[in-house]
Amino acid sequence: MLESASGGGMLARCAPQGACRSGRELETLMVGRLGSFRSASVALAVATFASVSSAQPVSEGGAIEEVIVTAQRVAEGMQDVPIPVTALTGEMLEEEQVITPSDLQMNAPNVSFTATNFGGSSFSIRGIGNLVVANSGQSGVSTHINEVSVVSNLNSIEFFDMERVEILRGPQGTLFGRNATGGAVNFVTQMPKQGIFEGFVDVETGDYAHTRLKAAVNVPLADTAALRLAGYRLTRDGYIENLAFGQTDIAGRRLPGIDGDVDGRDVLALRGTLSWEITDRAGAWLQFHMLDEDDDRVRISNQVCVRNSIPTNGCLADRFGFDTPHFGATTAGIFAGGVGALPLGTDGSEAALLDFPRPHITGFREMHTDLDPVFQERDDIVAWGFDYDFGELMLDVIGAVQKSEGLSRQDYFMDVGPRLAPTDLNPQGIWPVSAPAGGAGTFWTSETKS
């Protein structure tokens, strides 16, 4: 990790061999979104002029070389940047086992990362971030793809074929827009290299049927053009056991549409980058990124609760356990009791109310739910850039188009609910509730859609 602060001071912590490498200045981010929606966004092209600055090695014989960053939208040495910035090179990311954006909080001061409800995520720098749940909420820390700010859901991504990651602490609104009050995070990918054919393959396996594959290849197309392809694939079974799987009621029926574990992974990400040195002064690049996830990732695990005997509070405040709350303290229990579908004031522990009683749960790695979580992400991003060197000035024009689709669904109580009884208003006892393993609110037992 390299640290730079105001006044030009620098702290360096590199790989055990002492090697820190500099890189080019294309910054990329894989993105997502909150909840279930479809969206498309276009980032306007941005043209910037900046004075040209050169970076010289700290010492020709030293082990540490000066790292080039783009914290101020221009390529400059880290010691010349008058703002606090942390830079992790690609080698450092691997040495420190920084696999996901969440791991950055362990390697940069004043930084925290939160996986929010409904599948979202939030960076906070110096206490400023995004603590709201609504999709309309805007983050206080901006994240970027090739210097283009995009909507960020960082839960799904892993770092692969990265040049470096830059974390800028403190207000960055002048250069990175209004959503950079707390700071900005730049994800910089490896760019194509002219005249070099190279590549790598990294395979990892483990228990829970874990398999992670990362690969990249750099292909020169001509003396002035090159193509770089990279990707990763992650699959594994879930860490959490679903105790409802295989459970039977008094008639011998089993719950459909679930399996024995949840919180698995099935993620695929691909990236292709084409670069062209048009002349000695002009260059252009084009990049496509795709991210696809379709698995049973959980947004939340078991809630800590020891059921209260009275409905004033659903759970006891000073006890630790994994019960369901008192039904009389929940919205569903209040409404069901009010219409007579459940005994008014029941706490939910009576076995006669449950076709599939909740077994004893001992920890966060166990659940009892009739709804397999659903977590789906699809991101397609096309980004491009053009730069021209006028000598004393440098012109950069960048832009991007993003299309995102997402669906996140989970049983909030993570339980198998009680049996709803017939009432005078509904003597047949057929209630419009979501079917087991169906979509809450949109897919009903009659198979019709609203």
CA torsion 219-99-89-289 (nearest 10°) is 40
Contacts of 262 (CB under 8 A, 6+ apart): 238, 240, 242, 296, 298, 367, 369, 372, 373
The candidate with the shortest Cα–Cα distance to 390, out of 131, 1, 11, 52, is 52
> In this predicted model, what pLDDT tens digit does every residue of 165-176 receive, in sequence order?
999 998 888 888
What does pLDDT average to over the chain? Answer: 79
> Measured between alpha carbons, how far apart are the two ends of the chain, in Å?
52
SS (H, E, C) 135-164: CCCCCCEEEEECCEECCCCCCCCCCCCEEE
- Residue 194, token pair as written in the block: 């002219």
Q: Name the pLDDT band for 371 (thresholds 50, 70, 90).
A: confident
pLDDT of residue 290: 94
pLDDT at 51 over 70: no
| CATH architecture for the domain at 2-299+373-409 | Beta Barrel (2.40)
pLDDT of residue 65: 66
Q: Are 403 and 321 in contact (CB under 8 A)?
A: no
> In this predicted model, what pLDDT tens digit does every residue of 176-199 receive, in sequence order?
887 888 999 999 999 999 999 999
> In this predicted model, what pLDDT tens digit does every residue of 79-90 receive, in sequence order?
767 678 888 989
> Regarding predicted confidence, which is higher, 115 or 60?
115
SS (H, E, C) 315-335: ECCCCCCECCCCHHHCHHHHH
> In this predicted model, what pLDDT tens digit does every residue of 130-151 receive, in sequence order?
776 665 667 788 888 877 777 6
pLDDT of residue 448: 40
Q: Name the pLDDT band for 427 (thresholds 50, 70, 90).
A: confident
Rg of the Cα atoms in the chain: 26
Q: Where are the domains of the chain?
A: 2-299+373-409
> In this predicted model, what pLDDT tens digit does every residue of 431-441 receive, in sequence order?
765 444 444 44
pLDDT of residue 277: 95
Q: Are 66 and 79 in contact (CB under 8 A)?
A: yes
Q: What is the mean pLDDT of residues 411-417?
A: 80
Q: What is the mean pLDDT of residues 408-429?
A: 81
pLDDT of residue 23: 37
Q: Name the pLDDT band for 116 (thresholds 50, 70, 90).
A: confident
Q: What is the mean pLDDT of residues 409-420?
A: 82
pLDDT at 72 over 80: no
Q: Whole-prediction pTM value? A: 0.77
> Regarding predicted confidence, which is higher, 174 or 62?
174
